[in-house]
A and B are shown apart, each in its own frame.
Chain A
Amino acid sequence: MNDRLFAYTLRLADDAAILGQRLGEWCGHAPTLEEDIGLANIALDHIGQARALYTYAGEVEGKGRDEDQLCFLRKEREFSNCLLVEQPNGDFAETIARQFFFSAFMLPFWEKMKASRDETLAAIAAKAEKEAAYHLRHSAEWVIRLGDGTRESHERMQDAIELLWPFTGELFEADDTVKALVAEGIAVDPATMRDVWGETVKKVLGQATLEMPEEGWAQTGGRSGIHSEHFGHLLTAMQYMQRAYPGLKW
């Protein structure tokens, strides 16, 4: 088996699955019906991407593990999603800030991944890119509406931007796995996303009359399985069915 390709596919799958799980928590609780449907739709896109990626990771691993086993039967330290996606929903502004930061990264990321020498990753990227464009537009519109809204919505949006800012640095991190796969033409070098990401964020925050935080210390660790205290709680909810009824199928 190709260990690196397995690890890399798995972390992309984990990012998508965990963000999908977080967004799914809004189902039935969002501020308006349209947003409830909107957030659930975005969750569904991420879960769909996760399914395709987990299935492929299982094939690469070649030990017979399927999407359910990889998503629902691994332990906390085995997950390699970035810390940003596991952060709690908080208020609506925090959910939107998390989605905006992530989608502003993933749209150019998937665009580049379409040229990967790995055909399956390239095919998944071609689908995911179109979805990421909607996610970015949706979250950017909300950043502007809340930032340039009332005094309270402005304050909350600014607080959310500052709260989640330290988790954005991890998106651009490249460990040995990524570097080796970049050299083979399979992975996308996340460092090359920094400028385009920064431009998108700057433009939208400017329109939203919000301040862009200074680049500074970044909290990282998710890629090597060191997660925030919220993560174990997320897994207990997400993995409950497969833990309680192993092998359960729809």
Chain B
Amino acid sequence: MKNIIEIKNMSYRYPVSDDFCLKNITFSIQKGAFTAIVGNNGAGKTTLCNAIRGFVPHFYKGELAGEVIVDGKQIVDYQLGQLGEKIGYVFQNPFSQISGVKDSVFNEVAYGLENLGVPVDEIIQKVEDVLKLVNIEHLRGKNPFELSGGQRQRVALAAIIVMDPDILVIDEPTSQLDPIGTEDIFDVIRLMKERGKTVLLVEHKMDLIAEYADNILVLHEGALVMQGPVREVFSDPKYATFNIQYPHVTEVALNLIDIGVPLKFIPIRNEELPKALKMEWEENND
């Protein structure tokens, strides 16, 4: 599989700051992979998203070193407009994430397609599909300014995936949502992966990462300290040193091991804990 995103020795400093907030980062992402970015507050997750999308250093100015290559091409060689089609970016704050010129959710979701010059019939069809997919059909006639935070988050996601980009960069899309809303969003993201999209997701809800993501990037104080398949990273003792949350079941499992209960492997999904206990038990009783 080819790498759709490659980052080499990237460092970045905001214009009014003394410190680099991303330090010498190198990684690559395969086409179609679902990668989660985790880390504590201020670790540089959002800045990393902005760098992949080209907003660093474009909007934020400051100093960028190293290379960012998207789909075989240096990001500096893209025109900003082209990147909009290639990389969909949904960021944290749902309140500023509306176009500000549309009077209904339907038109809001259609906005990106209008900008891309998609024919009107096609726009209407695509928007209908996405409203269904993200489960916001009932909001279609509402003014985006009158929506709740959670509703806006869904609209923001819908407005991006309707444009059908190859890569989705999504920064904490569920911060304003309840558990059911969160599951809905993850279902949509999984569907995107099934459709062959490359997904990068910043998220604090580790249970969901363990369930859905393929790989993890762990950021700590601006450095990329761990990367690899989800299971390997969560079972690596090194992960514990960064004080980042574990999936709940992993946390329980590690406590069990601490008090001397042996486990055959470290579970990261809920259904794996009984399995790990059972395998260990069967081995001992053979």
Q: Do A and B bind each other?
A: no
B interface residues (Cβ-Cβ under 8 A, vs A): none
